[in-house]
Amino acid sequence: MAHGGVLIAVLAGGRGSRLGGAKPGAELAGRPLISYVLEAARATGLPVAVVAKRSTRLPELDAEVVIEPEEPRHPLTGVLAAMGALPRHDPGPAVLAVGCDTPFLTAALLAWMAGLDGAVAFAAAGRLQPLPARYPLSGIELLEESLLAERSLRDALGALQPRIVDPEELAAFGDPGRLCFNVNDASDLRLAEEWISRRRPA
């Protein structure tokens, strides 16, 4: 695979309870929410997979789907399932994990992250952001330990000692607040619709 074997994994196995159901198929400006990040991921030219539970309601997708275990309900389950698709004989590969609810990520940003080495994460409001982030296969044992210990995805990523991309560096790709914006509830969905409507030509 290109970029040292990086797979972009669109994590879609969450409950989406604050949005009233599974996020992937939530409608945003007439399209499934997941379609926006999938479009950006495909434009990188890298391999892309949607990672979801067998019970997850997905819209019709033209994408590979990796099935993660039903339990535990933890985003690390999706990251580790995606790592199962990477070649184990080479420590170089990595999973670039993104949420299915991040409609403003760009191909340029994802391709840049994929081309970096080791673990990579953003920092916003003084906190490590676990998505989007680059999870190297070399850290799989630490991630498995974190899952067993029921640590948060943020803490699990922190244990990999990632390179931190600060807002100033991220700003080269656009508005950091918008690039990393994720849709959690109905008000977020309305705000995303407003942003999309503003950038459409009159």
Written as six digits, the tokens of 17 are 């309870």
CA distance 56 to 60: 12
Given the structure tokens 């985003």, which residue do they identify? 75
Q: What does pLDDT average to over the chain? A: 90
The stretch 79-92 carries a mean pLDDT of 78
pLDDT of amino acid 156: 97
Confidence category of residue 202, pLDDT binned at 50, 70, 90: very low
Residue 65 burial (C-beta neighbours within 10 Å; 0-12, 13-18, 19+)? middle
- 202 or 184: which leads in pLDDT: 184
Q: Are 187 and 21 in contact (CB under 8 A)?
A: no
The stretch 157-182 carries a mean pLDDT of 92
pLDDT of amino acid 1: 40
pLDDT digits (tens, 9 = 90+) for 95-132: 999 999 999 999 999 999 999 999 999 988 778 999 99
Output the 3-class SS for the chain.
CHHHHEEEEEECCCCCHHHCCCCCCCEECCEEHHHHHHHHHHHCCCCEEEEEECCCCCCCCCCEEEEECCCCCCHHHHHHHHHCCCCCCCCCCEEEEEECCCCCCCHHHHHHHHCCCCCEEEEECCEEEEEEEEEEHHHHHHHHHHHHCCCCHHHHHHCCCCEEECHHHHHHHCCHHHHCCCCCCHHHHHHHHHHHHHHCCC
Is a pLDDT exceeding 80 seen at residue 19? Answer: no
The stretch 38-42 carries a mean pLDDT of 97
pLDDT of amino acid 28: 95
Q: Which region among 46-50, 123-127, 169-173 has the lowest average model confidence (pLDDT)?
A: 123-127
**Highest mean pLDDT pick, 53-67, 102-116, 174-188:** 102-116
The stretch 17-32 carries a mean pLDDT of 85
Residue 87 burial (C-beta neighbours within 10 Å; 0-12, 13-18, 19+)? exposed
pLDDT digits (tens, 9 = 90+) for 149-167: 999 999 999 999 999 998 8
Q: Which domains does the chain have, with CATH numbers?
A: 2-199 (3.90.550.10)
